[in-house]
Amino acid sequence: MNKLKTIGTTLLIILSTTTLLYQGALIVRASTIRVPEDYATIQSAIDHASPGDIITVKAGVYSGFKVTKSLTIIGESNQTVVVKDSVEVDANNVKVGSLKIVLGESTGSSTALKIMGNNTNLVGVIIESYKDAVQLGTVDHEISGTLIEYSRIKSVQTGIFGACKDLAIFYSEVESGRLAIAPCNYLDLEFSRITGDTAVSSSLWSTGFVIRNNYINGKSTGIYLDGDQHTISNNVITGGVGIALGARGVIIENNTISTSGTGIAVTKENNVITRNTISSGGYAIELAFNGNMILNNTLTGDRGVNVKTGYGNTIAFNLIYETGTVGVYFSKYTGDNLVYGNTFWYCYNYEAADESGKNQWYLENETHKLGNYWSYNKAPDNNGDGITDEPYHIGTTTGLEIIDKYPLAQPLVSPYQTPPTTTSTQPPQTTPSQTTTQVETESSKTQTTTPITTPSSGVYTSSTTQETSGLINTWYIVASAIGVVLILAIVFILLRARGKP
């Protein structure tokens, strides 16, 4: 009898465990709600959904909505699913994909999409606003973890703004009549096309921006950066001022910059500008601070490098060619700047000018004696050491004696071939191949296919639904397998009990 009681207790525990596992699997398994089949509006579907559910939206015109739960909302196509009003995301971990938000002045709202939750993902979304497009948090409520992919955002005033950090924008287009992107901290902007009066701007406390492989056009300014420790690389930048740098410790490399004003304007210290190709209607690079390094660039403009104020800057190994007035200029408010290894190629009027006379136009130490190449220097190099036999007197209007003691006989950078950059900017795809996203509904358990289109009328495959369904199905399969094993164990125990006296 005791043996049977023990067996019965064991069976009861096993059955209870199996039941709990199946209940857990059912709890984890999210539901799919269809609009308009299940609910006529997106807001009604949100109100009746549970956290983790998936809402699919068929073609149609819908009213604005507010997301107050962690949900995935997927439209059939961002060409056919149109929301004509503002949208607000107040919950964390919300995913929105493949729909179009259009905000007109008649709605009474000023912002098309307001995000107040953390870790919001926008994939394949089109936003068009008569005023502002996307607001991320507020002064009193900073948010983080916003991801925007394969989306197109267009606004008359501001594109993306707010109090945020950890904003990532990939393969997207942002076009604004004023400021296109104004994030607060930790921006990762890649493979996108940004257009505005100012394309990208930052706050005084911004840190760690990564801006690379983009096409950036700023009518007034392409990129304006404060803060410190940013990286700007492999971009194509056009417009008025290319980069206005009020930040420290920034690396600007491998960009192609073509502007009507200044290419790069620097007003802080300890920045590195290297391997850029800059063609400017004004100054290719303007410095107004200390300790910056300008290395291996190709520069043309009214002036190649204009040092307004500053000490301890290094200008080396650049190709400075066919400038309008001066190749490199130092004002009377400069000193202890070092210039060497550069190629000055037929700079009009003056190859260089030094109004303070306190800067050094060559490198001289125990191991190196290196000046610059001057295309107007016709002195010979009879001993073949690579340095002309006479020092080069740099033409200037100040009457000061400015000398390059070790002028190069041959240019270190060939003026006949522009040094290649590694710019590999690719705008968002225009005709990607069509793929599908699979969504399993609770009612039919059948597989449906929903194309999710890019802003450029192509098709983008969102992994959101697949990842969610995969996680759910994994839990369900694991629970089912455990249940089967436990049932077999029960049968085995019963058979052994019957076989013993």
Q: Each residue of 13-67: pLDDT tens digit? A: 454 445 444 444 444 457 999 999 999 999 999 999 999 999 999 999 999 999 9
Other C-beta atoms lying within 10 Å of the C-beta of residue 140: 6
pLDDT at 350: 87
pLDDT at 138: 87
pLDDT at 430: 36
pLDDT at 489: 62
pLDDT at 398: 67
pLDDT at 267: 94
Say if CB 87 and CB 103 are below 8 A apart.
no
Question: What is residue 482's three-state secondary structure?
Answer: helix
| pLDDT tier for residue 342 given thresholds of 50, 70 and 90 | very high
User: Which burial class, exposed, middle or buried, applies to 98 when counting CB atoms under 10 A from its CB (0-12, 13-18, 19+)?
Assistant: buried
Distance CA 480, CA 222 (A): 56
- In DSSP terms, 350 is beta-bridged to 326
Say if CB 442 and CB 105 are below 8 A apart.
no
pLDDT at 165: 86
Distance CA 317, CA 302 (A): 19
Say if CB 450 and CB 56 are below 8 A apart.
yes
Q: Each residue of 97-118: pLDDT tens digit? A: 999 999 998 887 899 999 999 9
Which uninterrupted H or E stretch holds 44?
helix 42-48
Q: Each residue of 223-274: pLDDT tens digit? A: 999 988 999 999 999 999 999 999 999 999 999 999 999 999 999 999 999 9
User: Cis link prior to 36 (omega < 30° from 0)?
Assistant: yes
Say if CB 247 and CB 228 are below 8 A apart.
yes
pLDDT at 447: 35
- What would the mean pLDDT of 188-203 be, rounded to a whole number? 94
Which uninterrupted H or E stretch holds 449?
strand 447-450
| pLDDT tier for residue 204 given thresholds of 50, 70 and 90 | confident
What residue has token string 């983790």? Answer: 52
Say if CB 324 and CB 299 are below 8 A apart.
no
pLDDT at 500: 52
- What would the mean pLDDT of 371-384 be, rounded to a whole number? 92
Fill in the amino acid letter for 379: A
Distance CA 468, CA 477 (A): 14
Distance CA 402, CA 395 (A): 8
pLDDT at 42: 97
Least confident span in 57-71, 75-89, 340-354, 452-466: 452-466
The full set of domain ranges for the chain reads 1-30+474-501, 32-192+428-462, 229-421
User: Cis link prior to 427 (omega < 30° from 0)?
Assistant: no
pLDDT at 467: 39
Say if CB 317 and CB 413 are below 8 A apart.
yes
Which uninterrupted H or E stretch holds 46?
helix 42-48
Please name the residues in contact with 46: beta carbons below 8 A apart, sequence gap of 6 or more. 55, 65, 66, 67, 68, 69, 71, 73
**Structure-token pair, residue 86:** 């503002």
Among 40-49, 323-332, 460-469, name the most confident range. Answer: 40-49
| 160-175 burial code (b ≥16 CB/10 A, e <16) | bbbbbbbbbbbbbbbb
Q: Each residue of 118-157: pLDDT tens digit? A: 999 999 999 999 999 999 998 889 999 999 999 999 999 9
pLDDT at 401: 81
Say if CB 361 and CB 337 are below 8 A apart.
no
- What would the mean pLDDT of 67-77 be, rounded to a whole number? 97
Distance from the Cα of residue 325 to its chain's centroid = 37
Say if CB 18 and CB 483 are below 8 A apart.
yes
Task: Report the percentage of the chain scoring pLDDT > 70.
Answer: 76
